[in-house]
Amino acid sequence: MANSNDMFDDLLTNKESFFVPTSTPSKTSVAPNVRGEFYGHLADAQMKEVSWTKDGEKFKAIVYNYSFVVDEANKSQSYTYASYKDSSEQVASGEDYIGRSYKANGVFRFLEPSEGDDFKSNASGNKSYFRFCETLGLDIEKKVAQIDGQDVEVKILPSLDTSEINGKPAIAVVDKGKPYTTKDGKERTPFVVKFIKTWEGGEVKSDDIPF
Mean pLDDT of 81-88: 83
Amino acid at site 80: T
How confident is the model over 124-170, as pLDDT tens digits? 899 999 999 999 998 888 888 777 778 788 888 989 999 999 999 99
Coil, strand or helix: which one is 131? helix
What are the Cα distances from residue 101, in Å, to 70, 71, 130?
6, 10, 24
User: Is the separation of the CB atoms in 77 and 63 below 8 Å?
Assistant: no
Q: Looking at the whole model, is its pTM more than 0.85?
A: no
Summary mean pLDDT of the chain: 87
Distance (Å, rounded) from C-alpha 173 to C-alpha 171? Answer: 7
pLDDT in the model for residue 70 = 98
pLDDT in the model for residue 209 = 46
How confident is the model over 179-190, as pLDDT tens digits? 999 999 999 999
Strand partners, 101: 69
User: Is the separation of the CB atoms in 130 and 123 below 8 Å?
Assistant: no
Confidence of residue 30 (pLDDT cuts 50, 70, 90): confident
Give the angle subtended at the CA of 168 by the CAs of 162 and 174, to the nearest 5°: 100
Number of Cβ within a 10 Å radius of residue 8: 11
DSSP state of 209: S
